[in-house]
Amino acid sequence: MMHPWAPLLLAFLLAAGSAQAEAKAELAHGAELLAPFKRELKATLTEGLASGPVAAIGACRLKAPEIATAHSRDGIRIGRTSHRLRNPANVAPEWVAPILAEYVTEASARNPRVVPLANDRTGYTEPILVQPPCLTCHGEALAPAVAAQIAELYPDDSAVGFRLGDLRGAFWVEFANPK
Ligand code: HEC
């Protein structure tokens, strides 16, 4: 005879399974929305660096916010933030702050996340780690001309002194849930 709780257990497992599938789909959607933003930022940085790091700082300063705005449309908002900001305008949205704090304290927690937001929306985050080219402008030993340019443009800069593999910050995306 079937255990009296079996249908309940089955319903629970099915619900858990579908919630898991939903989270997986949301993670994939967030990553997909973020990909062109990341590509464009990288291309701008590479292009800028071809003219030298000081010129690249100017390119980042002008283009990075423009790229974020260009990708924030059709109900999608996209950006990048950090626990150690260069540009104070990149401060984390409220829902990103606790995830960023977890990324900072827990290296093993540095994986993509989805969280439910108000108004039937979803948030997606991804950690940003320091790679070799980042050290030119975010590392421990900057060239004097680079340091001078950063100090001039970003008097409150907290985004130097990073090492390879350190957490640099997080990408975030907000999108509407599918109907
Ligand atoms: C040529 C210098 C330069 C290089 C190289 C560089 N950055 Fe930056 N980075 C900047 C500047 C300038 C800003 C501020 C842009 C702005 O005003 O929005 C910035 C901002 C950021 C931010 C936004 C948060 C904040 O602190 O304002 C993140 C995240 C970031 N950089 C990560 C990286 C990563 C990861 C790499 C390597 C792949 C990298 N950067 C390489 C100059 C650089």
How many angstroms does the Cα of residue 153 sit away from the middle of ligand 1?
13
User: For the packed helices 144-153 and 53-71, what is the interaxial angle rounded to 10 degrees?
Assistant: 40
144 pLDDT tier (thresholds 50, 70, 90): very high
How many angstroms does the Cα of residue 108 sit away from the middle of ligand 1?
24
Whether 64 lines ligand 1, by a CB cut-off of 6 Å, is: yes
Higher-scoring residue by pLDDT: 109, 8 = 109
Sign of the alpha-carbon dihedral angle for 10, 16, 19, 23? negative
Closest CA to 84 of 76, 92, 73: 92
Whose alpha carbon is nearest atom 23 of ligand 1?
Answer: 81
Boundaries of every domain in the chain: 6-176
> Is the confidence at residue 49, as pLDDT, over 90?
yes
The pLDDT tens digits of the residues spanning 66-93 come to: 999 998 888 999 999 999 999 999 999 9
Q: Which residues contact 107 (CB under 8 A, 6 or more apart)?
A: 167
Sign of the alpha-carbon dihedral angle for 50, 44, 102, 108? negative
How many angstroms does the Cα of residue 138 sit away from the middle of ligand 1?
7
The answer to whether 30 and 112 are in contact (CB under 8 A) is yes
> What is d(CA 99, CA 126) in angstroms, rounded to the nearest whole number?
10
